[in-house]
A and B are shown apart, each in its own frame.
Chain A
Amino acid sequence: MLSRVADALYWMARYLERAEHSARVLAVKLEAMLDQTPDDAAEAWIRVTGALAWPMSEDVKGSPIDIAQQLTLDKAHASSIMTSVRLARDNARQVRELISTEMWGQINRQYLRLNASDTSLIWAAQPVPFLRRVADDLLLFAGITDSTMRHGEGWHFIQLGRYIERAQLIARLLDLHFGALPPDVPQHVRAPRYFEWITLLKQATAFEAYCKVYTADIGPSQIAEFLIFDPEFPHSIRFAVDRIQEELGFLGPGAAAGRRVQAERLAGRLKASLDYGQVDELMAGDIDGFLRSVQASCKQIHQSVFDAFIGYSVDELLPS
């Protein structure tokens, strides 16, 4: 498959995962605010902007609803859902001949709906249903992708993009709840309380799945264990890393054996830390350091995939 095309599919998936995550985090938070005192609610928004608007240097200000609107609709904002969907569609358009007509129809309709003239009115009337709809549309796209596109190399690049993005997003979200806030989040907030732990689970679509494993006994340690180490829950870091490691084997079929070594080594090491890690050790030790190393590893895997399959130098490959 063309390197440019693989790159576009990969980024399409990353932007879609990002948009879906943002939509869910915002929807859950806006709903949760109804049960909080105004002060508590306002303070907890620092975690939302920290999770969605990074780098934090980006200017997101105002009341919670203003922040949510910027992170949803602001075309000039690099982290907004609007921007992510636009970039995903631009990438999809690059590879229009490769993705199915159904996939294109879905992403294109969603893009057109977000860009319709009455969007901000619909948002203002009912922001939470608006965000739920966005998230549902993106889930629908993922389902259409799985059932209409050939599960060949292109599909594997999509999966890789999706899970590299997801592992980083979940790690970042957890980083904002456990231990000290990341160094790029300037404000100070109190440690999360009971209510915020439930919100966190819901933001990772994990509340129901968590309860099935741990019952409704909500505690930070179990939450960390579930969202970091659970092998079967699709929004846990371990689940995402397992997929990343699997997908690497499907990229560039027939490529010289040495090309995927670096990426496989990085992914294998990350996987081992999740397969054999223990939550007690993390909670007693450096959990924020661990979560940041997950994010750093994902970035390294991304770079080594790019170097091996997309932006490689052709000189050594050409016949002399």
Chain B
Amino acid sequence: MAEAAHPRPVIVSNRARPGVDRPFADYGLGAAHDEMFLPDGTPRPHAAALYQALTTLPGDELARRQQACEQSFLHQGITFTVYGNEEATEKIIPTDLLPRIIPGAEWDKLEQGLRQRISALNLFLKDVYNDGKILNDGIVPRDLVFGSKHYLRQMRGVQVPLDAYVNVCGTDIIRREDGSMVVLEDNLRVPSGVSYMLANREVVRRAFGDLYRACGVRPIESYGQDLLATLKELAVGFRDDPRIVLLTPGIFNSAYYEHAFLARQMGIDLVEGRDLLVHDNVVYMRTTSGVKRVDVIYRRVDDDFIDPLAFRHDSALGVAGLMNAYRAGNVVIANTIGTGVADDKAVYSYVPDIIRYYLDEEPLLGSVETFRCREPNALSHVLANLDTLVVKAVGESGGYGMLVGPHATAAQRTAFAEKVKADPDNYIAQPTIQLSTAPCFVGSGVEARHVDLRPYLLTGRQTRLVPGALTRVALKRGSLVVNSSQGGGSKDTWVVG
């Protein structure tokens, strides 16, 4: 559509240099690996087509397409709600128009690493909630696991369908300065953002139709079917046509759009806690035709809130008695409860050992070296080097409870040091990594912004992964924080060739 309205662009220059020529005049190449340019400023081969498109588009055309994309998000209601003094306003999650491009061969390697990692983490979860062999063998410290706030003893000895504890996993991957991709965080609880992966694809394909076709982008549209197939596989020993529902906290949740989107994609009911009830350890939902049995719950409600009888008593979002129905084997909950013990930031540092222990393989994907403040040597190292490290609370996520040393003031560092000293078990530290940068449209031109990558793995009887991911963007120049709760945006991710 956009192409048809404009004459074919005339090639003005294919030698636009980053930091010098339009539209890249303000494009900074620094210590970080850049997804589009080689250090000498020439475009990488897999990004050449995008580079070509950017240098040949008429001046205001990018702005026009960006605006069309934002309009589309607003009209579709792809928004999150900000609650202010007077009334709630709905905002779109900032989406950058320019696709982030990953060569197919590199993706295939990444996929192998992700599959290996999720297999090991599922085995780890089964082990810590049953025999605890890895703890007895002294590979992972017992108190680290049992002391984690995400370890839930209600899960001990519970039979989990197919031993698949984590059915939907959204691993955060970053690219280091040397170009290698490593895991920054495993999100094993209720990872969100997959709807943005799919929605970004819709608008970006519309904005760059020709480029999309020319690049041979691998399709990701089967995600909904894959998720449904995964959930169906989990209903082992249930009815042939199990009733599958998606449990949402409701329209006030910031990810509500995603919940409704996924339910629609799968053709399943979107339920709230108040729609469900448990009777004799069986879960039912209230329908206009009476109560109907529910077999599988894809839940987007956190562990703490899912059952007021088992966990937080003040939760109005959950279903009283759900945990007992689950323990009785009368319902499947995906992801299962208590998976957060394996994405704890301190456990993270043991994942390479976990992979070796269960699979007898070397990890295919690297991770970031991590100082565990619970160890005295590490603690003194961390306290002495706060200005170069990133320090994180082990049980937190979403960019909360962390200190980015190089970007903090001396006073902030001193204050944080006190917190770490008071409760060293609760903290880990990692070197500050310059996440790779990718081209982003910023209104006046194209500039480099730091990005990460979140692919979504689905595990039932088999593990499925669509060739695509959510690329999160730190929209502020120089910022390394990509979390949407901290002002991050996202962009489409193209796996090509």
Contacts and interface: CB of A to CB of B under 8 A. Distances in A.
Interface in A79-119: 90, 93-94, 96-98, 101, 104-105, 108-109, 112
A125 interface: no
B398 to A, nearest CB: 24
B290 A319 contact: no
A101 B261 CA distance: 10
Nearest to A309: B288
Contacts of A253: 289
B47 interface: no
27 contacts: A1-B287, A1-B288, A1-B289, A2-B275, A2-B286, A2-B288, A3-B275, A3-B288, A4-B272, A4-B286, A6-B288, A93-B77, A93-B260, A96-B77, A96-B257, A97-B261, A98-B270, A105-B76, A108-B75, A108-B77, A112-B75, A252-B288, A255-B289, A309-B288, A314-B291, A318-B279, A318-B284
A144 interface: no
B403 to A, nearest CB: 38
Given A97-B263, A318-B279, A109 B75 contact: yes
Interface in B254-271: 256-257, 260-261, 263-264, 269-271
A93 B251 contact: yes
Interface residues of A, number: 34
Contacts of B288: 1-3, 6, 153, 157, 251-252, 255, 309-310
Contacts of A314: 277, 279, 284, 286, 291
Interface in B289-337: 289-291
A256 interface: yes
Interface string A233-262: 000000000000000000111111000000
Nearest to A112: B74
A2 B77 contact: no
Contacts of B271: 2
Given A96-B260, A108-B77, A314-B291, A2 B251 contact: no
A106 to B, nearest CB: 10
Interface in B32-90: 74-77, 87
Interface of A: 1-6, 75, 90, 93-94, 96-98, 101, 104-105, 108-109, 112, 153, 157, 251-256, 309-310, 312, 314, 317-319
A104 to B, nearest CB: 6
B280 interface: yes
A140 to B, nearest CB: 15
Given A4-B275, A96-B264, A252 B251 contact: no
Given A96-B260, A255-B290, 19 more contacts: A2-B286, A3-B287, A4-B286, A75-B87, A94-B251, A96-B264, A96-B270, A97-B260, A105-B76, A108-B77, A112-B75, A153-B288, A252-B288, A253-B289, A254-B289, A255-B289, A318-B279, A318-B280, A319-B279
A23 B340 CA distance: 53
Interface string B344-381: 00000000000000000000000000000000000000
Contacts of A252: 287-290
Nearest to A256: B290
Nearest to A105: B75
B285 interface: yes
User: Which of B74, B260, B261 neighbours the largest number of chain A CB atoms within 10 Å of its CB?
Assistant: B260
A32 B279 CA distance: 61
Contacts of B269: 2, 5, 97
Contacts of B287: 1-3, 252
Which A-B residue pairs are the 7 nearest by beta carbons?
A96-B260, A97-B263, A252-B288, A97-B264, A309-B288, A255-B289, A254-B289
A255 B285 CA distance: 14
A205 to B, nearest CB: 29
B419 interface: no
Contacts of B256: 93
B274 interface: yes
A75 B257 CA distance: 24
Nearest to A6: B288
A15 to B, nearest CB: 16
A66 B270 CA distance: 42
B291 A317 contact: yes
